[in-house]
């Protein structure tokens, strides 16, 4: 099934594909009239349909059904130190597949990659997130912010129910232990979680200290030293497994 991202989905309707999506559909995928497709708007809307017209002047989709997916009950913000090379793009793709709500790229004391054109990087990374949404079928588009220094992010004083940080220091507890502890203390799971993962050289002790002042708790992914993209993928998978609430989509009218 070919998926396309459109600004807004509705049914019944004949929806034109955005120009870039139409070019991909007609020139790369070579879709023809009657081919089945899925349209996603990145905000919980998912439409099934078939190709109507398909040519040099555009592609129209005849919708056949609409599903409105409820907003996730638990939102994960990924506080990710910018990884070097293609690792960052692969990491973004995995984060979308694993349902992260937002990505804040961080430039830390030990960051090897320090983007100069923050706006250009953000635009490129958001494009990667859109492609990952279409590949995975995730109905919710992950927002990717511009890279920001860790010091600048701290000044925002953002509030979360739970902040967890991947740590190579001390002897941190497993991630699921923190979720269990939160549930015992509050009688429910956290609805807003921040996951912090450091750069190739890890966060500095001073940075760990600042996180702890914000109430962050450290967790371990085992005794081995993982690549950044591996650590992030593993942590998100564990978080989603621990936070899973069995949400399901409701058919639309």
pLDDT in tens, 49-59: 999 998 878 99
Angstrom distance (rounded) from CA 104 to CA 143: 9
Neighbouring CB atoms inside 10 A of 247's CB total: 12
Contact indicator for 99, 141 with CB cutoff of 8 Å: no
Average pLDDT over residues 93-109: 96
Tens digits of residue pLDDT in 175-210:
999 999 999 999 999 999 999 999 988 899 999 999
- Check if the beta carbon of residue 140 is closer than 8 Å to that of residue 43: yes
pLDDT at 251: 43
In angstroms, the CA 21 to CA 61 distance is 12
Mean pLDDT, to the nearest integer, of 66-81? 95
Return the half-sphere exposure (C-beta side, CA atoms, 13 A cut-off) of residue 149: 6
User: Which tens digits make up the pLDDT trace of 148-175?
Assistant: 999 999 999 999 999 999 988 767 889 9
pLDDT > 70? residue 250: no
pTM of the model: 0.90
User: How far apart are the C-alpha atoms of 164 and 12, rounded to whole Å?
Assistant: 44
Q: Which domains does the chain have, with CATH numbers?
A: 2-68 (2.40.240.20), 75-243 (3.40.1280.10)
Q: How confident is the model at residue 225 (pLDDT cuts 50, 70, 90)?
A: confident
Euclidean distance between CA atoms 170 and 163, whole angstroms: 18
Residue 151: the pLDDT is 92
> Taking all residues of the chain, what is their mean pLDDT, rounded to a whole number?
91
- For the chain, give the secondary structure using H, E and C: CEEEECCCCCCCCEEECCHHHHHHHHHHCCCCCCCEEEEECCECEEEEEEEEEEECCEEEEEEEEEEECCCCCCEEEEEEECCCCCHHHHHHHHHHHCCCCEEEEEECCCCCCCCCCHHHHHHHHHHHHHHHHHHHCCCECCEECCCEEHHHHHCCCCCCCEEEEECCCCCCEEHHHHHHHHHHHHCCCCCEEEEEECCCCCCCHHHHHHHHHCCCEEEECCCCCCCHHHHHHHHHHHHHHHHCCCCCCEECC
């Amino acid at each position: 099934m070919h998926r396309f991202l459109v600004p807004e989905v509705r049914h019944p309707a004949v929806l034109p594909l955005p120009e870039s999506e139409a070019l991909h559909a007609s020139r790369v995928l070579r879709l023809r009239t009657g081919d089945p497709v899925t349209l996603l708007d990145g905000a919980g809307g998912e439409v099934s349909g078939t190709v109507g017209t398909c040519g040099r002047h555009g592609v129209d989709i005849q919708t056949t059904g609409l599903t409105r997916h409820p907003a996730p009950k638990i939102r994960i913000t990924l506080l990710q130190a910018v990884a070097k090379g293609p690792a960052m793009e692969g990491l973004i793709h995995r984060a979308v597949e694993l349902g992260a709500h937002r990505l804040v790229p961080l430039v830390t004391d030990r960051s090897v990659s320090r983007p100069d054109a923050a706006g250009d990087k953000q635009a490129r990374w958001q494009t990667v997130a859109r492609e990952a949404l279409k590949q995975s079928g995730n109905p919710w588009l992950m927002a990717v912010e511009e890279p920001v220094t860790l010091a600048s992010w701290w000044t925002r004083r953002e509030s979360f129910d739970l902040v967890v940080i991947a740590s190579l220091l001390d002897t941190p507890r497993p991630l699921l232990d923190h979720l269990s502890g939160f549930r015992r203390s509050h009688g429910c799971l956290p609805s807003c979680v921040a996951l912090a993962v450091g750069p190739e050289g890890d966060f500095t002790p001073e940075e760990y200290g600042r996180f702890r002042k914000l109430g962050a708790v450290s967790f371990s992914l085992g005794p081995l030293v993982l690549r950044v993209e591996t650590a992030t993928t593993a942590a998100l998978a564990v978080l989603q497994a621990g936070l899973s609430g069995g949400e399901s989509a409701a058919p639309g009218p």
